[in-house]
Amino acid sequence: MSAGWRLKLAGLAFGLSAGLLLSVGAGATDLAEIKSNGKVTVGTEAAYAPFEFVEDGKIVGYDKDVLDRIVAAWGVELEQLDVPFAGILTGLDQGKYDIVSTALIMNPERAAKYAFTMPVAVAQVAIMKRKGDDKITSVEDLTGLSIGGPVPPSGPTSVLTNYNEELKATGKGADQIVHFQGDPELFLGLANGQIDGAVETMLVINEAMKKQPDTFEVVGTIGEPFYIGWVVRPADTALRDSINEEIRKLRDSGELAKLQEKWFGFSMEIPDSGYLPPNAK
């Protein structure tokens, strides 16, 4: 191989990796552009009941109902892609879609990299156990136990990890934190006895207990309540503001509370400000 070739190959390899790392350098996407296209493309991980899941071949759920109302208000068509969680933020970076409409806990790591909408829900993170299992009786003492959570960058798992660090300082931390591919696997692992407890938001835990009655019970909640919202690329704050405007209208008209009743069985307080972590975009 000649030196020239080696150089070209090196250049090619560099170009490829640089291209992979950088997001598409196109300008910001805003509502005007979406309206002129007549279509908004949205990425969703439709595997998180009751927020978003597939029923009879269609994406349904709380987020989907909210999204449908926003899209209708904008008067555009919705193209919604179902993307596994592992690839969902990469797809946003690469411009495969402009909005991630999937329940995302507003943690500082995410808020530093993406522009969060205002919250669509508030959730407490909790630990669930097998019904009647007396190995675990309080979230204050997880000594010797193994607790599972969805694979990072899952929000509930990061809450659990931070909480467990605090517990460890008092010598009552969990033995190990086990990661599962998704909630169904997590709950199966708990039912099968692979783990002693599972961490999720109360909204999802309620759904699991409904779908598999007499299998699980809640041990207790951990940490403060978390706000849940959607994200857009950090440059698209104008688009984020347009989404916020519609969410605010839905909240003020009482529609949002109605949807919360429908999917969660109760309604929530959605604040106007103060919901973002300090370093947020």
Residues that bind another protein (CB under 8 A): 1, 5, 9, 16, 19-20, 22, 24, 43, 46-49, 53-55, 57, 81-84, 86-87, 90-91, 94-96, 182-185, 187-188, 191-192, 208, 211-212
> In whole angstroms, how close is the CB of 53 to another protein at the nearest point?
4
> In whole angstroms, how close is the CB of 277 to another protein at the nearest point?
27
**Contact partners, residue 81, CB within 8 Å, separation at least 6:** 41, 42, 43, 44, 91, 96, 97
> In whole angstroms, how close is the CB of 2 to another protein at the nearest point?
8
Distance of alpha carbon 205 from alpha carbon 125, whole angstroms: 9
| Of residues 151 and 188, the one with the C-beta less far from another protein | 188
> In whole angstroms, how close is the CB of 127 to another protein at the nearest point?
18
Distance of alpha carbon 94 from alpha carbon 22, whole angstroms: 8
| Of residues 135 and 211, the one with the C-beta less far from another protein | 211
Distance of alpha carbon 61 from alpha carbon 226, whole angstroms: 19
Q: Quickly count: other Cβ atoms within 10 Å of residue 35's Cβ.
A: 14
> 23: which DSSP letter?
P
> In whole angstroms, how close is the CB of 96 to another protein at the nearest point?
7
| Of residues 54 and 257, the one with the C-beta less far from another protein | 54
| Of residues 41 and 242, the one with the C-beta less far from another protein | 41
State how far Cα 110 lies from the chain centre.
Answer: 10
Supply 271's token pair.
Answer: 């604040």
| Of residues 135 and 210, the one with the C-beta less far from another protein | 210
Between the alpha carbon of residue 123 and those of residues 31, 225, 269, the distances in Å are 29, 5, 11
